[in-house]
Structure 1
Amino acid sequence: MMDYSYMQPNVPEEYLPDESNAPDYIHPTPEAHYPQRINVAEELVDRHVQEGRGDNVAIYFEDRTFTYEQLQEQVDRMGNALRDLGVEAGDRVVVRFPNRPEAIVTCLAVQKIGGVALPSMKLLRAKELDYIINNAEATTVVVYDDLLEEVENALPELDTVEDVIVAERNGVDHDHHSYDDLLESADDELEAYETEREDLALMLYTSGTTGRPKGAVHSHRSVLATADTYARYCIEPTEEDVFGGNPPLPFAYGYGDLVTFPLRFGASTSLVEDASPGDLLEAVENHGISVLCSIPTGFNQILSNYPDGPEEYDVSSLRVGLSAGEPLTPTTFENFKEEYGINLLDGIGTTEMLHIFISHCHDGDIDPSATGFPVPGYECKIIDPDTGEELERGESGLLAVRGPTGVEYWDRPEKQVESTTEDGWSIPGDIYVQREDGRLEYKSRSDDLIISSGYNIPGPEVEAVIEEHEAVSEVAVVGSPHEERGEIVKAFTVLSNGTTPDDELVTEIQNHVKNTLAPYKYPREIEFTESLPRTETGKIRRTELREQEQSS
């Protein structure tokens, strides 16, 4: 288990799991054994400069490149600027950007000075930011100017934020600190803070079925371990590789694919702001992407929107694709392999576990009907959700995982207890079957989470917002199967007396959700109904609604 005999400055001990409910970490692979003192920013940037790779391209963005030496200077300047503003070791710093170099620079700078980077999804609204920032007790927000509005809307409710730093790229007026001015005036050399391997480096928020976001915390050791297990063994990167794709950096999946993995191996990352399928193909051609990272929806969109993609673009640099966020179907696997000549590695990972822990390896015998095997460094077993007893192969049950990363929540002791077994195995919340050949086959989520185009959407959170509308009496939200998105959000809605259902009302309800929550959470379908199915105790039978959608 994690050693909590010391505490990182400015990290309240009571906000972290104690030894009774923390995961039991194991480190069976030699690469995941780290010295007591280690700093992830030094490992991902400074080490390459010191070892003679300073001229390697670290980041491709549009028509610009940033070498490791240039990235180091930017990180050092930003780290000094943050320290000059009073940011200290252990402080949480919100980093709110689309996929741009400033996001990587800021996260690494925060980590280099011993702080905790908290990347924020760009679509979050003020109401969502209120809770996350206050719960994390963040002191500073660094934000792209085009995403500033929701931060400013949230500011009156933020209890701990002392400074806002704005990257001015679109001419948005503001009266906060200027990102560029701070970097220009800051010193370009920075000694890394003496972080311990178990110090927090990264915090990512995920919403569960209760709709209340949960902060998943990750140490310097955990961040590095995702690269030194999954990436090292399943992808085998070299410094010639270029990682690219469209997962947002604040997703655990995107942070690993586009930050940790390439920078761990002295490779390059290709960033595309708000990438469409066409943008990704252009980046493959222009940046020489070799490891293409997306979700099944993204790969399907490339296939459907660009049927002649391999002829229109030079995709000869591609060697493997990574897929996560929702199950990858064998059809998508086979179609993409036929068109682009590469395997897509399906993987299961969670925000809490930080990255993929079940996958095939790029050069192995890939069965697209299964997710794969436990990643080297991890152990998986299937347990009875009621008894916790391990099940025989071929039996469906709850997935339990143990490895160098694990489920640790910030200030959520009740969820922590639910997410770890008594003997320290983490419970991601998925139903799996382990086949006789050892492969693990995904069955379903064990809760009400709707997974649409890779986004995790808690149904009850959407329900609470829809119920705010005066025309709505009751509502139940479930996932409805969708060919391209995997699932879409569907709302079964009972209207208040006297209200007439029509298309105008549908649009009104949808817009209300878009204006209150991240827009991807809105119900793409609304079905008006006279009543909702309920149990004898009055609970809505969402299972019945989901089964109805599956069979329709």
Structure 2
Amino acid sequence: MQENLPESYLPDAANSPEPLHALPETDYPSNVNVAEELVDTHVENGRGDNVAIRFRDRELTYRDLKDRVDRFGNALKDLGVEPGDRVLVRFPNRPEAIVSCLAVQKIGAIPQPSMKLLRAKELTHILDDAKIKLAVVYDDLLDELEDAVDAVDCVEEVVVVDDVGVDHDRPSYQRLIDDASDELAAHDTEATDLGLMLYTSGTTGRPKGAVHSHSDILATADGYANYCLEPTEDDVFGGNPPLPFAYGYGDLVTFPLRFGATTSLVQDATPQTLLEAVEDHGVTVFCSVPTAYNQILSKFPDGHEEYDVSSLRLGLSAGEPLAPHTFDEIGEKYGIDILDGIGTTEMLHIFISHRHTDEIDPEATGFPVPGYEAKIVDPETGDELERGRSGQLAVRGPTGITYWNRPEKQKDAVRDGWSFPGDIFVQREDGRFEYQSREDDLIISSGYNIPGPEVEMVLEEREAVQEVAVIGAPDEERGEIVKAYIVLHEEYEASESLVSELQNYVKNTLAPYKYPRAIQFLDELPRTETGKIQRTKLRDREQTV
């Protein structure tokens, strides 16, 4: 049990998702500890010499990882961390981030991985909202955290991982590990005890905390990863999603460690360092977001020839819809398919996707992941819609939406045990689910419902367009008009003739009422740290024009 967990911060049964354990793999014992499952089990079963983490030119085996987790877990207990306490973990993609999260979980506490670019104001909200008791931080990210800690009264200690030589008077992570015992029994956590807290990226207002149990974390691997990716201990998972991003936590922590495989970490990811990691670490499953795939293709058009990428067998994508032309070009050059799934921080990982053995249709997201059910409902009545009609996506499975201390938001997100992630989809006659938009990305112009991403996909087909975001801009006559913000490839220049060319292309490809009546060219689009386009900032920009 987690004694220090304030139950009032969690929803009651009436507003909680109804767990669905359709797979035998996700029907866990009543007591299970995720850190023990991801690390100790491999050592006990003779896989201790398997490489768990590759970082730069260093390797950590599962035996090495267990030693560090046990030592740091004991150090945290000595610092007063108890079951149910929340611990902030603030790092770029480095091994210490994984060690810290696992150590926190092993002693029954709850890690809260934090995005490295958050500033003091954002951190202050998270520290206070989650009632963080202790923080573990990379020294180069200490300043903003110190300012946030000074603004709250809940944080009792900050542990610092020394690397770049920042002066501080806080306890040293390495010294604590060196001085701690290497024997640590896992806390007897219940499967439903909380094992992870993640905050949304805050693209639409104040970040919200989403919590996940030990069984939730395991279920993402035993469902999606097991059935859609079919990993083995020979796989190497790599890429650039940040570990505090639910997608990145699954791809680079849960999935490889669940199957005794390897994770490849890149601290400062660029197209070049990612290609180098594929070559140097032998990455087999490359995990990224559409932006990074496009940047690799743009910055290194011959990257597949300049680097040894022969180890690759599969690509994963999430965060934004993947354009079919990106799917095709990666397939042609790198010889791999990309599984573009839909997942959310609140649901923890992907719940609709193709399997790697499917005939992949890049214009559709895919089918419900084994273990999940999905349906499309009328947003007004809640009635299930027939195939071919767009509406709200409702999902249930081994994971669901559980907000921390947000009762009103919880009521909106869960109905009759089903979770509503906030996406507009259509289920096609072939059973595949096709993404339309986020609910707040639906543009209503002269009474027509226009999914912004649909227009984006068409514009991205043009050679001149490097990136695009489509929003609804206020208009007195039509209520809203479709407006496209476009970043051009370097060899193209903005002009009225190019605007007309792009508008006509959309008119000739989609229903004419969907074309962008306004186009504005930018040097770059606003993005979150996870790579998602911040359309909210573009909408705010329109309100001030």
Deviations 1:48-86 (Å, cap 9, x if unpaired)? Answer: 000000000000000000000000000001100000000
**Structure 1 runs of 4+ with >3 Å offset:** 207-210, 448-452, 478-485, 518-532
Q: Answer yes or no: is 1:432 the counterpart of 2:429.
A: no
Q: Answer yes or no: is 1:50 the counterpart of 2:44.
A: yes
Aligned to 2:227: 233
Out of 401, 404, 407, the position equivalent to 1:410 is 404
Shift of 1:483: 5.8
The runs of 5 or more residues in structure 1 that have no matched partner are 1-6, 460-475, 486-509, 533-552
Shift of 1:308: 1.1
The 1:132–1:339 alpha-carbon spacing in structure 2 relative to 1, beyond 3 Å, is: same
The 1:276–1:405 alpha-carbon spacing in structure 2 relative to 1, beyond 3 Å, is: same
Deviates more, 1:246-255 or 1:273-282: 273-282
Matches within 5 A, 1:402-481: 402-421=396-415, 423-447=416-440, 480-481=484-485
RMSD of aligned alpha carbons: 2.7
The answer as to whether partners of 2:203 and 2:534 remain within 8 angstroms in 1 is no
Matches within 5 A, 1:296-315: 296-315=290-309
Shift of 1:336: 0.4
Matches within 5 A, 1:197-346: 197-207=191-201, 211-346=205-340
Matches within 5 A, 1:342-353: 342-353=336-347
Aligned to 2:515: none
Aligned to 1:127: 121
The answer as to whether partners of 1:142 and 1:167 remain within 8 angstroms in 2 is yes
Q: Residues of 2 paired with 1:43 and 1:360: CA distance?
A: 27
Q: Residues of 1 paired with 2:404 and 2:539: CA distance?
A: 35
Q: Residues of 1 paired with 2:317 and 2:34: CA distance?
A: 25
Query: TM-score normalised to the size of structure 2?
Result: 0.83
Q: Residues of 2 paired with 1:65 and 1:360: CA distance?
A: 32
The answer as to whether partners of 1:235 and 1:362 remain within 8 angstroms in 2 is yes
Aligned to 1:546: none
For the residue of structure 1 that corresponds to 2:375, the secondary structure is: strand
Deviations 1:222-270 (Å, cap 9, x if unpaired)? Answer: 0000000000000000000000000000000000000000000000000
Query: TM-score normalised to the size of structure 1?
Result: 0.82
Q: Which amino acid aligns with 1:303?
A: L
The 1:482–1:203 alpha-carbon spacing in structure 2 relative to 1, beyond 3 Å, is: farther
For the residue of structure 1 that corresponds to 2:437, the secondary structure is: strand
Q: Residues of 1 paired with 2:536 and 2:394: CA distance?
A: 32
Deviations 1:490-510 (Å, cap 9, x if unpaired)? Answer: xxxxxxxxxxxxxxxxxxxx9
Q: Which amino acid aligns with 2:85?
A: D
Q: Answer yes or no: is 1:85 the counterpart of 2:79.
A: yes
The 1:190–1:480 alpha-carbon spacing in structure 2 relative to 1, beyond 3 Å, is: farther
Matches within 5 A, 1:507-526: none
The answer as to whether partners of 1:345 and 1:359 remain within 8 angstroms in 2 is yes
Shift of 1:211: 1.1
Aligned to 1:10: 4
Matches within 5 A, 1:97-136: 97-136=91-130
Deviations 1:96-127 (Å, cap 9, x if unpaired)? Answer: 00000000000000000000010000000000
Q: Which amino acid aligns with 1:294?
A: S
Deviations 1:35-60 (Å, cap 9, x if unpaired)? Answer: 01100000000000000000000000
Q: Residues of 2 paired with 1:329 and 1:242: CA distance?
A: 25
Q: Which amino acid aligns with 2:230?
A: E
For the residue of structure 2 that corresponds to 1:20, the secondary structure is: helix
Q: Residues of 2 paired with 1:226 and 1:63: CA distance?
A: 29
Q: Residues of 1 paired with 2:532 and 2:349: CA distance?
A: 25
Q: Residues of 1 paired with 2:387 and 2:424: CA distance?
A: 13
Q: Residues of 1 paired with 2:348 and 2:248: CA distance?
A: 10
Q: Which amino acid aligns with 1:170?
A: V
Q: Which amino acid aligns with 1:442?
A: Y
Q: Which amino acid aligns with 1:72?
A: K
Shift of 1:156: 1.5
Q: Which amino acid aligns with 1:146?
A: D
For the residue of structure 2 that corresponds to 1:447, the secondary structure is: helix
Shift of 1:311: 1.2
Aligned to 1:359: 353
The 1:519–1:263 alpha-carbon spacing in structure 2 relative to 1, beyond 3 Å, is: closer
Question: How many correspondences in the alignment?
Answer: 475
Shift of 1:447: 2.2
Q: Which amino acid aligns with 2:114?
A: S
Identity of aligned residues (%): 66
Shift of 1:480: 4.9
Q: Which amino acid aligns with 2:330?
A: F
Q: Residues of 2 paired with 1:519 and 1:424: CA distance?
A: 28
Shift of 1:363: 1.3
Q: Which amino acid aligns with 1:111?
A: Q
Deviates more, 1:205-214 or 1:367-376: 205-214
The 1:167–1:365 alpha-carbon spacing in structure 2 relative to 1, beyond 3 Å, is: same
